[in-house]
């Protein structure tokens, strides 16, 4: 399982890389679960991410295709990369609105120079977010040609991923996404123990922000904290989990 670490500035990239992050995720935590950094900050972060490390870009929760086009404008000026680039959006719309957003993102991504992979974000606390249920997001993702689904928490002060979904429900949801041939990413206010628990599930990526920082999610990424998280994942691999 690969480790994704969210950074809010170019200054945090070196610590994430030094600690062993497989994916560096550009995100502004003061703007919510999927807060987007500015275009300038994104370009600075991208320059600092080594060629062999994947880059992920949070684009927020656009309410319509026009807002989505504006969000995607931050990618202009990014040079093509040899490693994979991901873009992800949360779905605060429902039904046809959510489907239109995902289809629009797939289309826009296919027409950018960096051709990023598209990730739909589902929320375990979807009712609080006013978003579609995770099972619905998985179906929409399969129908619109996105590359993967991230299951996260919308609220960051109401418990972690496992607070909202028990392990059997998580495994069932992962099975639904995998059956559609999509990548599975898991996040949501995870501590190091939460990362260990996620490592026992059949996912592809685990994402963190607060657990990688000194001072919580609004603090600063620490190479030591990232290394501890990476070691926790390695422990599960070593034991065959």
Whether 230 sits among the annotated catalytic residues: the reply is no
What CATH number is associated with residue 112?
A: 3.20.20.380
Give residue 173's pLDDT band: very low, low, confident or very high (50, 70, 90). Answer: very high
From the list 63, 88, 99, 156, the catalytic residue is 88
C-beta separation of 62 from 68 below 8 A: yes
From the list 27, 99, 156, 230, the catalytic residue is 27
Q: What is the pTM of this model?
A: 0.95
Looking at residues 136-158, what average pLDDT do you find? Answer: 95
pLDDT 10s digits, 198-208 = 999 999 999 99
Whether 156 sits among the annotated catalytic residues: the reply is no
Mean pLDDT for the chain overall = 94
Specify the number of domains making up the chain.
Answer: 1
Who's near 8: CB < 8 A, 6+ residues apart? 26, 27, 28, 29, 37, 41
Range of the domain at 19: 2-238
Looking at residues 109-117, what average pLDDT do you find? Answer: 95
């Amino acid at each position: 399982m690969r480790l994704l670490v969210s950074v809010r500035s170019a200054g945090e990239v070196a610590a994430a890389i030094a600690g062993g992050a497989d994916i560096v995720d550009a995100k502004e935590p003061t703007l919510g679960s999927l807060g987007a950094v500015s275009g300038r900050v994104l370009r600075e972060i991208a320059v600092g991410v080594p060629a062999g490390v994947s880059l992920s870009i949070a684009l927020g929760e656009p309410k319509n295709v026009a807002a989505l086009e504006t969000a995607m404008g931050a990618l202009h000026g990014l040079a093509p990369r040899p490693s994979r680039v991901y873009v992800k959006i949360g779905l605060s719309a429902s039904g046809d609105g959510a489907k239109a957003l995902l289809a629009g993102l797939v289309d826009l991504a296919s027409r950018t120079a960096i051709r990023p992979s598209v990730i739909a974000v589902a929320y375990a606390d979807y009712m609080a977010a006013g978003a579609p249920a995770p099972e619905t997001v998985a179906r929409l993702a399969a129908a619109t040609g996105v590359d993967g689904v991230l299951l996260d928490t919308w609220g960051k002060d109401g418990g972690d991923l496992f607070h909202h979904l028990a392990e059997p429900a998580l495994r069932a949801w992962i099975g639904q996404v995998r059956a559609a041939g999509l990548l599975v990413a898991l996040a949501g206010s995870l501590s190091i123990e939460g990362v260990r628990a996620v490592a026992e599930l059949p996912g592809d990526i685990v994402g963190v922000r607060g657990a990688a920082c000194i001072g919580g999610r609004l603090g600063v990424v620490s190479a030591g904290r990232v290394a501890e998280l990476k070691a926790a994942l390695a422990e599960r691999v070593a034991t065959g989990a």
